[in-house]
Amino acid sequence: MQRASSAGRNSCQKILHRRNQIQTTRKLPCDVFINHRGIDTKRNVAGLLYNQLASLRLRPFLDSKNMKPGDKLFDHIDAAIHGCKVGVAVFSPRYCESYFCLHELALIMETKKKVIPIFCDVKPSELRVKDNGSCLAKDLRRFRWALEEAKYTVGLDFDSSRGDWPHFLTSATDAIVKNLLEVEEEEQDGGQNF
């Protein structure tokens, strides 16, 4: 696996320096929430991205890595979304078939988190929320709104069968770290204006 660029490492050092200045006794929330369709991306894009971010000493959240048997699914995931600074939505061919994926995306958008879409083996125009009769009308509206917002956010695209994995991981990591740093700088600047 390729390491993040030197700019990415320097940005991570700034984030870690700020974090070390904050004294807290409670468990710190995650920095980055990785929203994905497990069946499509857990063992490749989402899992590799989680490992790359963790190797930089960031705190990514990936359900299979951060949850244990007995955890309440929605409680744990919703708390991670509320606590994160950046959301990464890894879109894949079967993403929109998952109520959980769409719920997470809607919550990320509703909480106005910085979002980085990654279109893996799918074009934004191919993503649609379909009414299969199992969702409430209000959920369908939330999901469609969130998906449209994400589709019109600048992101990354990747073809897993032909793409350059090391280059993709470096680009994705650099984009995440840059956005994370921007959010932390905004928070720091906002806290000084009181």
Active site residues: 104
> Of all residues in the chain, what percent are helix, strand and coil, respectively (each to 5)?
55, 10, 35
Instruction: In whole angstroms, give the CA distance from residue 53 to residue 34.
Output: 11
DSSP 48-104: HHHHHHHHTT--EE-HHHH--TT--HHHHHHHHHHH-SEEEEEE-TTGGG-HHHHHH
Of 94, 82, 177, 167, nearest to 102 by C-alpha is 94
